[in-house]
C-alpha cells in the first residue's frame, strides 16, 4: 500500500508531452489534450528538434521547454516536469505522454481518472493494439529488469503514457537518462511505496518497423535500459532482516 492520497487533493492538471522532430503530429497531440482536458496546462518537452516542432507546439497553445542541444528524453522531460511543478499554483496531477500520439491523445483520460479516484499513484497505458516493433528483445529486457529490481510484473514497461500525482512525480525526479526514463520511474516509484497499475488504452503512435532505422532505435533503447538497470542495481534497497 503506497502513501495515502490526501483528502481534498483536487488541484489542476499539467500535461507534459515528450517530443523530438514531431512537427507533423505535435499540433494534433496538443489539440487533442486541450480538448480532453480543458484548463490543463500543456507543456511540450522539445528535445532540440530540427523540424520546427517547438514553433508548431507553441502555435497550438502549448508552453515549450527546449534547450540548445539534444539532452535525451529523460533529461528533457525532467526539465519540463521541474518547470511544471515550479509555477505559483502547481498541479495536483500530471499526465506524461509522447508527441506522436496525435488525435489519440484524447483517449488518455482513463489514466488521469484512475489516479484522481485513488485507484493508484501511477497509471500506465498499455496499447490495446500493437503496431510495428522488432523481435521483442528490448521490451523483454525491460520487463525482466523491472521485475528483478522491484518485483513488479508489467505488460507495458516502457510506455511513455503515464498519469501520476505531483507527489509521485517529485519522488521519481530526476528521471533516468534517455530511453531509460520509464524503467527508472517505475522502479523508483515502486521502491518508494507508490502503487502502479496498467490500463489498456486504444492509442496510436509512430511505430518503428523491422528495418535499419527501427533496429537502430531499439539498439539505443536497449543501451539506455542497460544503463538504468546497472544504476538501480547498485542502489538496490537493503533487504529487511
Residue 70 pLDDT class (50, 70, 90 cuts)? confident
- What mean pLDDT is reported for the chain? 89
**pLDDT tens figures, 80-128:** 999 999 999 999 999 999 999 999 999 999 999 999 999 999 999 998 7
- DSSP one-letter string for the chain: --SPPPTT----EEEEEEESS-TTTHHHHHHHHHHHSTT-EEEEEE-S-SSSHHHHHHHTT-EEEE-SS---HHHHHHHHHHHHHTSSS--SEEEEEETT-GGGGGGGHHHHHHHHTTS-SEEEEEESS--S--SSHHHHHHHHHHHHHH----S-TT---EEEEHHHHHHHPSPPSGGGHHHHHHHHHHHTT--EEEEEE--------SSHHHHHHHHHHHHHHHHHHHHHHHTPPPPP-
> When comparing pLDDT for 76 and 9, which is higher?
76
**pLDDT tens figures, 128-182:** 766 555 557 899 999 999 999 999 999 999 999 999 999 999 999 999 999 999 9
**Are residues 73 and 146 in contact, defined by beta-carbon separation less than 8 angstroms?**
no
The answer to whether domain 13-132+153-207 has CATH 3.90.550.10 is yes
Residue 216 pLDDT class (50, 70, 90 cuts)? confident
> When comparing pLDDT for 66 and 211, which is higher?
66
Can you give the pLDDT at residue 148? 97
Amino acid at each position: 500500500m503506497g502513501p495515502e492520497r490526501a483528502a481534498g487533493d483536487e488541484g489542476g492538471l499539467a500535461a507534459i508531452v515528450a517530443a523530438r522532430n514531431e512537427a507533423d503530429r505535435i499540433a494534433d497531440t496538443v489539440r487533442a489534450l486541450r480538448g480532453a482536458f480543458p484548463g490543463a496546462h500543456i507543456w511540450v518537452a522539445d528535445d532540440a528538434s530540427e523540424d520546427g516542432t517547438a514553433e508548431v507546439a507553441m502555435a497550438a497553445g502549448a508552453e515549450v521547454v527546449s534547450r540548445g542541444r539534444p539532452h535525451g528524453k529523460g533529461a528533457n522531460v525532467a526539465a519540463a516536469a521541474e518547470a511544471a511543478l515550479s509555477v505559483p499554483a502547481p498541479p495536483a496531477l500530471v499526465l506524461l505522454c509522447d508527441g506522436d500520439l496525435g488525435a489519440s491523445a484524447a483517449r488518455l483520460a482513463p489514466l488521469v481518472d484512475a489516479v484522481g479516484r485513488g485507484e493508484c499513484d501511477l497509471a500506465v497505458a498499455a496499447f490495446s493494439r500493437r503496431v510495428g516493433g522488432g523481435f521483442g528483445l528490448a521490451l523483454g529486457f525491460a520487463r525482466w529488469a523491472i521485475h528483478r529490481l522491484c518485483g513488479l510484473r508489467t505488460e507495458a514497461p516502457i510506455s511513455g503514457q503515464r498519469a501520476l500525482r505531483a507527489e509521485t512525480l517529485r519522488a521519481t525526479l530526476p528521471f533516468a537518462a534517455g530511453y531509460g526514463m520509464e524503467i527508472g520511474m517505475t522502479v523508483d516509484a515502486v521502491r518508494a511505496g507508490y502503487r502502479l497499475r496498467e490500463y489498456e488504452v486504444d492509442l496510436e503512435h509512430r511505430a518503428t518497423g523491422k528495418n535499419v532505422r527501427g533496429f537502430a532505435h531499439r539498439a539505443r533503447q536497449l543501451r539506455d535500459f542497460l544503463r538504468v538497470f546497472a544504476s538501480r542495481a547498485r542502489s538496490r534497497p537493503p533487504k529487511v532482516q
